[in-house]
Structure 1
Amino acid sequence: MPMQMTLGTQLRHLIELLDGAVQRNYAAMGLAYRPRYTPIMRALMAQEPSSLGDVAQCAGITQPAASQTVALMIADGLIETAPSTDGRQKLLRLSPAGRAIADELRKAWACTAMAAQSLDDDLPTPLTGLLAEAIKALDAKSFDERIRSAQALKNAQKDAK
């Protein structure tokens, strides 16, 4: 009998299912592009050049996550860096190769959005809404706080025995 999947395992599996399908679609379109690049790519398509911090904020991801993804994108030739006018930070911008695939990415993203809507339509509670609510709840009380509360409760129950 399979073990019950925990929240983290379920979320990782869901991401594998979604990202795997999106990755296969990019490959079918002839694009050497990873789904994890999308938040950075969208941010730079909206505003370039941009600092790493601005890209991370626009993309809604942490700066360390943005930094890791940017390094991969630079290695893949999709973005490049340039010094800012005051030289204190590097600015990011799309490379010619990044610009060359922008229109194809927009088409892929439109299809992905339609597929996501189809998934939402098949669920009793739309996943996009549920995820937004989960993020809102975690903004109000972090998972760190929730773990600490659970640990305190567990310790109190242990002490009561």
Structure 2
Amino acid sequence: MRQGLGTQLRHLIDLLDGAVAAAYEEAGIDYRPRYTPVMRALEGGQPHTITQIAEAAGITQPAATQTVALMMKEGLLDASPGERDARQKVIRLSAQGQALLPQLRVCWQATRAAADSLDADLPHALSDTLAAAIAALQTKPFGARIRSARAAITRNKETS
């Protein structure tokens, strides 16, 4: 039996994230792969709001909020009140986060090279396929596709 799309994607993520987490451990870095989009968004030194981090990292705002909270607990980030709105947090890399960047950049380069190697081993580059899938889902979300399929199935049953 062929596995469902969600099952395949979760398995792929497990394979990729597990290897990346192991690479950080092998490099002696106590760091989670899920932190990388936030670190990348902040590595230039400019402080960002959670909304700006989410946009720059290409993740949802709830994911950014949750990841930032974890990273603050680990001392990688600092937060201060916004200049225009004190209720808004402005996030920046802490001294500990800044100090970790050189090691992380080496890991990120190795991960990019490994991803390029994986793309080269496939009939179609995984990165291109994922980008195309994301674009297609932005045009017509998966929920809309499910509703259309359900309607078609219902129509077919009624005409049978």
Tell me the TM-score normalized by structure 2. Answer: 0.96
Is 1:64 matched up with 2:62? yes
List runs of 5+ in structure 2 lacking aligned partners.
none
Give the corresponding residue for 2:137: 138
Aligned AA (2:137): L
Aligned AA (1:42): R
Cα RMSD over matched residues?
A: 1.0
Q: Deviations over 1:7-27 (max 9, x none)?
A: 000001001000100000000
Count of equivalent residues: 159
Q: Deviations over 1:21-46 (max 9, x none)?
A: 00000001111100011001100113
Q: Distance in 2 between matches of 1:124 and 1:107?
A: 28
**CA apart distance, 1:101:** 0.5
List runs of 5+ in structure 1 lacking aligned partners.
none
Q: How does 1:21-40 map to 2 (within 5 A)?
A: 21-40=19-38
Give the corresponding residue for 2:9: 11
3-state DSSP of counterpart to 2:149: helix
3-state DSSP of counterpart to 2:79: strand
2:24–2:30 Cα contact (<8 Å) kept: yes
3-state DSSP of counterpart to 1:46: coil
Alpha carbons of 1:56 and 1:47: their partners in 2 closer, same or farther (altered >3 Å)? Answer: farther
2:44 pairs with 46, 52, 55, which one? 46
4+ runs deviating over 2 angstroms: none
3-state DSSP of counterpart to 2:43: helix
Q: Distance in 2 between matches of 1:73 and 1:160?
A: 56
Q: Distance in 1 between matches of 2:153 and 2:74?
A: 48
Q: Distance in 2 between matches of 1:85 and 1:116?
A: 40
3-state DSSP of counterpart to 2:29: coil
Q: Percent identity?
A: 53
